[in-house]
Amino acid sequence: MKVHKVTLMIIDFDKLGAQQVIAELENTSYANDCIYPRVMKIETVDIGEWENDNPLNFKATQDETFNKLFDGSKTSNSSSQGP
C-alpha cells in the first residue's frame, strides 16, 4: 500500500500508482470548470499492507502519522511535474 502526498493526502487503495493518481486529479471534469488542478509535485511512501487499525485511518492520529511519513527521510519515488 502506498500513500501519495499531493498537497492533500490520498490513500491508494486500488494501487493506482503516483502517475495514475495525477491523471485522475488532472483529467476529472469538474462542474462548470470550477477548478483546474495541476499536480506540480508528488511524493510517495510505501506503508506496507493496509490494516483498518492503521493510524492514517483515524482523524485523531492521521495528521501526526502523515507528517512522520513525509518528514523527508522516508519518502521515495518523488517526482515533479513541469508546468
Task: Cell 506540480: give the residue.
Answer: 40
What are the pLDDT digits (tens) for 17-62? 999 998 998 898 888 888 888 888 889 999 999 999 999 999 999 9
Cell numbers 482523524: residue = 59
Residue 33's domain comprises 2-80
pTM as predicted = 0.62
d(CA 45, CA 31): 32
pLDDT number for residue 80: 44
Sheet holding 2-6, edge to edge: 8-11, 2-6, 41-46, 76-80
Question: What is the tally of structural domains in the chain?
Answer: 1
